[in-house]
Structure 1
């Protein structure tokens, strides 16, 4: 089976992890700070905070921005459920804005219309809008930031797919147009730490809040304490936080992977360009690239006729092509249906989902493997 995604581990990665295993620090050690510094420099961000997963990062991000019961987060339905779930963890409400039918990211037009309509009706505007750089394609962040200033909401970038991507010639994660940006290092992502994530920000106060919340809300900084320190052992829990720490083994793997990040992205872009060229004559929709961005191609989603999707998917799987589907619209899940969401709420997201198939794409994918995938897609689609 040729999978839709696969990690790319070399001997240097293994050596980096083994070195930590032989050291004095397995967690809360120097490899974590090194990883954070390396990542922040790469993205052009002032601060980076490593965490145990992107879900943890999203949860800490909304907590750091003060989301709580009675609050409201808007996001898109074309994402993994975690993007929306973290608001429910805080007791807040969630609503969804439809996607752009070209980019599959948040529709700025729909967002603008919804904000204006809510304000005109005297309704509740969002406290936070979390946008998702789907498949590695950056959202239209400049206009989203302008809307944030006009309507008074904070902005989180869910960049789980987008490490190495660029927007307006700047790396995603610089936080030029957002408060916080969250990344994933799951094995199918562009770089991996096994499980793990990172949150970047340009705000030193948010960075401090993230670092404390990932470790139970605890500080050892005397200047942050509410009482005088009793000694070197003393700490205070300032907030009800979590154990969302990453280990030094994972951080060491992340540092090692960062050496090859640009190579990973270059290979993915080359594979995507080959798909674009060789599949262009088929009756399928290929990914669109917005001119303001440069995708890192975590995914290569095609769209086929909805009535043919199940058959094409099953036939490709039967031929050893590990296709997948990203994503089932979040609000159609039972948890969200019980909150009152119904089919038809975001038509563009539903139309995309109905025909979506993610083709295999990963940095170690060989030209021969890609040729096998393309031949199978061509045969199955043309004989549907």
Structure 2
């Protein structure tokens, strides 16, 4: 089968890898409009529920991704630089550029043709393809060419946010809220790679305008943010430029489609659906899309049956995740109403943003603020993570990783 993937992000590259692994006879080309290495953002987060299928599907690229990833333990909520609340759990983060490098090299090794700086203006250019994959992101050109057929609906969140880096190294996933004369502003931060963390700054439209970010230049805006977040950053710098491009303020774009398929065109990843960055599922969903579609093509003799099956099953499975993303986005758009509480209570409100909680869960949350209890939870997580890593065949040392969290 001749397959063309438009977009060399996680969805397009991992689909090409997965399809080639199942049938090396596929003629697969990946087309990317940007140069090699050009990507937005800093790090992306994921959990064990991505590592398990990655290792089962392609252990070689999975091991490279895991080796390039950083472990973080606990979530920390900081109000005003001095008031702390904690949530349990752990996760992984990897630099987005590194992830794409790993996937592009693996795809090339498997015989996929990857072409950069090639823009697709019309699907007529790809008329000789049996299957066209639109994996070109939330602003998909492939999708825009047939929006009526896909039944596309795009909704925009109200909070401005900007994706930055910092040389402050966080060992926890950290939410830091600071009150200014214009209102609250906060960041979501986590480690990206050695010596660098991702720092997504967010606020309401009203506060953003009152602080003058709608008129400030890039450098001026970053310097003001450094001043606002001086305490949680401990005097470290914020970094705007990623691969030569300065960060820009943006608003979250929710993409919904009545169908992900039109004739022989299938949408994957953010081109088909988006989930708010506060639930950290975008990369996982893109890769799972890729893997599942490749398996459907392998399982079904007829292309039409495979595409129809994937479209129906995928949209049904995604519905609750997109609902969770909308709920999480709405919580942050109304965060001001929660921030007059102590950090422990803000942490609980954040944890409960997806639905009602029982009274005993609040008591349990209070108990987990005790340092000795948190230390025990981290040791349990270490053991559990080590067990899962051994089960999926990760290359490990002789004992679980140790946490540097206090």
Q: TM-score range by the shorter chain?
A: under 0.3
TM-score between the two structures when normalised by the length of structure 1: 0.27
Q: More strand by proportion, 1 or 2?
A: 2
TM-score between the two structures when normalised by the length of structure 2: 0.26
